[in-house]
Structure 1
């Protein structure tokens, strides 16, 4: 795969023309801003800024979210401009998170559809989604309530755009993940979550969830499946054909009045 070509398509379909029901989206030729109805979850989806104006634009976004009383994320990919925006964000008080590998799988390389993974139980209601988020919450100190509200909203308003899976040990949720289809016109699907509780790792749960979401994406007619992979996930998804396209680093602005 040509990394630059993939990134151009990804920017067009998944960043510049992102759709999230119930969320406010502002878009112009240089920036796309997505505003969550909650304190958390808002983000800058896309930007292509002139280096001489970048600092001013960052200030404008910080002021905008400050007035709203919301936190927001500014994710940077290797191909984004200006190339020094990382240092600009840090100098303005953003918090840098661990960098991840933006990886893409060409689904058209699959000669057959992966088998159904019966241990992956699809979550359709609030209880199932809470179980999915409980797994993620157990692996981080980050408050995951915003993820719950986002997934619940998607499942209630556009159920065809998301599939959420949980693997159980008896009644205990031990692994979870989800796949999102942002737009009918987009050739991409994105996989998220991918968490397993410490006591149940090494049992193939992550791979089962991965196979199930590859299956869903092929059946949905998508051409590409992408993931922001951690260092733990990267070697696993590489075995399934995912290729590194870029490095991506999230930067967070935390509103001073929000704990």
Structure 2
């Protein structure tokens, strides 16, 4: 005899705390999600979310809070309601484009706007993308050896904006190829310290960009004099 379709779910009879732990075990995936449709969730079994409305309402916030999502310039925003993402996501990645011409400035602005809408975000990953018409520079583009790339990012990015988002506790910065430098390591250290300070003081004043750049330059100069190198292993 088939069970009654209207019979209560045994899963929903479990305590809510236990159900939430099950969602946290099933839904996380070790990848960066760029949403352009349901295909982007193929590494996560979403069948649980579509079991019934009560389970969906309980589980979908876990999907967003337990994974790393790309925000910013993305065509998916035209086809996808971003509110569940903005309301629940805890870890985000966005790309910062340089030079900031008319189009790329809009991409950067979209990233910052999306970041402010993520009310529960605690971890931010910034990937720096460089565009150049110079043949010599393009020859090294994949390796990102150009000193001007770092300076351009520090000068044209909105670092002080990140310090104005109290929920952020962790920040990473690298070139989009994953390459790290001493300058970015110093920047991450400074920003992490300031983020902790922001959380501890209600009267914290966000430093100006000039102050930020000055401290980063000083931190890099100190490290450079100690190591004699401007790169750290990837």
TM bin (shorter chain) = under 0.3
What TM-score do you get using the length of structure 2 for normalisation? 0.28
Structure having the higher helix fraction is: 2
Using the size of structure 1 for normalisation, the TM-score is 0.26
